[in-house]
Structure 1
């Protein structure tokens, strides 16, 4: 869960298990730490005036004591490992050595703690190294998203140090690039994946567009030329092969109504693979669009270059993931893989490797 006050993703145990006062009528979205900071500050000013920061309902001293006891029982602090860091001044001073930042395609960048000390600095350096804008960078370490804080009310100040997150020599930070956020305010109901390709220089062959849909770690459904439609799932459709023999070109279109997907669906992986040719590079002028079908401008939501996968039989181009607040994010991957629409096992293994790398940071 994400605390609406500090903005950190935290374990459920770090939130109140129930309403914080008998007079509250809502689920608390502030974590215990933020709640107690607020309540204890108010209590220091006037011990008879304690109120819920979300609804202003009055709290008793017994209810405050209960919250403090609950917080004391929490064993794991996800927000920041700095509680332990601050206990050891020697550890804080040892900001030395190399750590690593990895993209989902396996590419790694080496950075030195002596040169990059804060989250803000890390994002700036990664922009220089990768060309990825800071606002599109989602950095995950040990289950926590590294953030540049916009306020200074916490003891660690407004710009978190990497060492306060527990990053040390040899640490691996996962960089997830959020190309596009599909929020409730900017809703996309009809997502379209539109793939075009030219035949190889000799003969007719197919560059397959596939969507593998996952519910957690389980493959929920496959959509490709051989599995274009399920009458029980009318909101997803694959066009099958659309062939123009005169122009020597082919086309695949996948359309998905995101707002109709069951809540258990978490990710949609989009894959390209060569059918008969040994690699994607044999196809002439391949191109694709991932866009909102209802948008008049048809803005591209993923800017992956197919040409970078020319020597590979398949490439996992990107995925669309459901976020914690029930919105969607477009994440580029660009992971090369063996396999094709005749044999998905190597592609599934590559996806499992991606998921494993993400889970190791959670």
Structure 2
């Protein structure tokens, strides 16, 4: 189904089954997101030929919003609410990891971000260079203070940790992205790698562009197809990375899964990422799954970031759900550029 407002193809569960008011005498053709947005911004129905007024605080609008919230979970809100429920007494700020683990640190408005990293190091024994702190999607710089970012008492800071710090001796590594095929309407997922020089896009590697000699010196290669056997229920594509041959100008590699024809990933079960050394494919160096992404068109699985002479793998939790696919990379590219700007 295609929404007439946002012009986007979406599955039936993203459309309302009833009109937004009893005064509407037409089919509910617009998607839930457009109906709610239109009601809150304009107080009217999305149908141009309908004169019905819509109360943005009505029960039906709240019901539509609740359905959207269930399908597209904002994990930053979840972590913030969890931190507030468990917060001890006194002036503190909370620091939460993606799995919900939370530490409370005494709050002083003049505290530097580096001071918070010191506290985290003392409590969790995590090296400061492996800590990435985010507030409202903005990367916090060590020499800045809490007041510089308008961080107040009882606010929550996200702690992003690397999935894996790649040892310097490793060269040929493999990212194996897999999924379970839909039971009906056969389709497949596409694994993509995007290379960036800071915020500047350099090159995409996917099934249609399996390698690049000019910009990437053939340091990243795509398997070009999905590896499956007769009657296979699981598909996967691999991307080979020769780290020592990646040009020094490349600072970020982002790995993405997107559907080829389906409007989102909901038909594919258990999309996952495995990372291993080419010489030992039985020993996973890190692994993660992304079942929270099934209502999105695409998911940014992870980023590989150059820090000096080393590479670190980060799970992309904040901002990882995005529109676009292998036929339309612009929304994915724009989101990644935003993520890198916030990081820098």
Do they fold alike, i.e. is TM over 0.5? yes
Kept in 2, the 8 Å contact 1:98–1:110? The answer is no
Give 3-state SS (helix, strand or coil) of 2:309's partner: coil
The TM-score normalised by the length of structure 2 is 0.58
Question: Which of 138, 142, 145 is the equivalent residue of 2:132?
Answer: 138
SS in 2 for 1:348: helix
Larger Rg computed on CA atoms: 1
Distance in 2 of aligned mates of 1:318 and 1:122? 27
Q: Structure 2: which 5+ runs fail to align?
A: 1-89
Deviations 1:64-119 (A, max 9, x none): xxxxxxxxxxxxxxxxxxxxxxxxxxxxxxxx967576879xx9x89674499863
Pick from 150, 155, 165: which aligns with 1:170? 150
1:273 is aligned, of 258, 264, 279, to 258
CA distance in 2, matches of 1:312, 1:290: 23
| Regions of 4+ moved over 6 Å | 109-112, 124-127
Q: Structure 2 vs 1, CA of residues 221 and 180 (structure 1 numbering), >3 Å: closer, same or farther?
A: same
Alignment of 1:296-311 (within 5 A): 297-301=282-286, 303-311=287-295
User: Is the alpha carbon distance of 1:285 and 1:102 closer, same or farther for their aligned partners in structure 2, counting shifts above 3 Å?
Assistant: closer
Residue of structure 2 in register with 1:314 after alignment: 298
Corresponding pairs, count? 235
The one of 226, 229, 238 aligned to 1:244: 229
**Could you list the runs of 5+ residues in structure 1 that have no partner in the other structure?**
1-95, 128-132, 146-164
| 1:226 maps onto 2:208 in alignment | yes
Normalising by structure 1, report the TM-score. Answer: 0.55
Contact 1:207 1:274 in 2 (8 A): yes
Segment of structure 1 superposing worse, 113-122 or 308-317: 113-122
> What displacement does 1:296 show?
5.7
**Can you list the C-alpha shifts for 1:3-30, whole angstroms capped at 9, x where unaligned?**
xxxxxxxxxxxxxxxxxxxxxxxxxxxx
User: Which residues in structure 2 correspond to 1:99-178 (within 5 Å)?
Assistant: 113-114=106-107, 119=116, 122-123=119-120, 134-135=126-127, 137-139=131-133, 143-144=141-142, 166-168=145-147, 170-171=150-151, 175-178=159-162
The offset of 1:250, in angstroms, is 2.5
SS of equivalent residue, structure 2 residue 285? coil
Alignment root-mean-square deviation, CA: 3.6
Deviation of residue 292 (structure 1)?
A: 1.6
- Quote how far apart the aligned CAs of 1:226 are: 1.0
Cross-structure match for 2:186? 204
